[in-house]
Amino acid sequence: MSDLTPSRRRVLAGGLAATIGAVSGCLDESVTGGPDDDERDRVLRLLLSDVGETLRENGVDDPDEQDPIWDETAFEAVRAGEPYTTQYRTPFFSTDEDPRHAVHEGTYYRLGSVVIDEAETTRPVVRLFGVEADDTGDTDSVDAETLPAGDQRAVEIAHFAARARGNTGGIPMDLVERGGYVYRDEGAIEASALLADDGPARVAYADTTYRVAIDRERFYEPVYRATGEVVAESPEQMETVLRALKVGPRVSKEELSADAREILEDARYGGYEEPHPYSDAYAEVLRALNERPFIDGNILKDAPSRRSGSELVRYGDRYYDYGLVFQPADGDE
């Protein structure tokens, strides 16, 4: 490639998934200048991750082939036109932004839910608290690994909340609730040793002994009705639906220059990067990906505000997830 010097073209190995996941917010606060400032010390890295030849393979659930993570009874009710409700959790873990699809006997469905009611209920909440060195109470504790599976999960999540108290590290908010763990599975509640009247007062986990506190608190939870709509009657039609939902740029190899195709090949196998101003071939690739903010305007301020790679790209006869991220230059290679 005649327009790319060794100092401007580097193929990177590893870190594909992590870097794609870190596209948003990748610039530090010191990078605020235009094309004549700090970006001369930074490179724009492109990575492609192969998704496959079809979107149906990962985009459609087939309960006949494998057990889905969602409620199969809800799917049966949807197909039969019968009402089916769940409380707190949606029946298909599907959202309008990320819909779930399933197939049954050659018919493809878009699965979802609507809120139809609210339920007031009482749930056990387990919280853990560190034991002080001068605590003279009952020192016997139970090893978390000896507890039933539901209790082990409760201890692990409540441990995250206990560890975060007074620290700045944060907690996994998608798991911790009300400063601990909320039991919602009836089977786990019935099998629980922690929730029993004679349950342990202390539990040992991660080389730490905790005091166990259990409260039964009031919750107001949404009631969902499962929904399903036929969207396709053939694999080809379903592929078209998924392509319309998930795919943005469509890039033809024949329409690209040889240098641009080489860049995309490098991006598929480890990554490709360049500093600004970009070579003609890299600019061609960015335009093909509809990522013009990385070329025009204030390169560092405008472009990173976009959710780069939020859509899949079709390149040739395959689909790819992709990420674009600014990062410090490592020096000439």
141 phi and psi angles, rounded to 5 deg: -135, 160
- The stretch 264-269 carries a mean pLDDT of 94
Kindly indicate the confidence band of residue 63, based on its pLDDT and cuts at 50, 70 and 90. very high
pLDDT at 308: 59
> Over the stretch 222-265, which tens digit does the pLDDT of each residue have?
999 999 999 999 999 999 999 999 999 999 999 999 999 999 99
Backbone angles phi, psi at 78, to 5 degrees: -60, -45
- Report pLDDT for 30: 30
Closest by CA to 218, choosing from 257, 263, 178, is 178
Q: How many residues does the chain have?
A: 333
The tokens of 105 are what? 């006997």
The span from the CA of 154 to the CA of 148, in Å, is 10
CA 302 to CA 32: how far, in whole Å?
Answer: 10
Bigger pLDDT: 60 vs 168: 60
Q: Where are the alpha helices (DSSP H) in 81-219?
A: 149-164, 186-191
pLDDT the model gives residue 309: 62
Per the listing, tokens 């909440």 go with 125
Question: Maximum Cα–Cα distance for the chain, whole Å?
Answer: 77
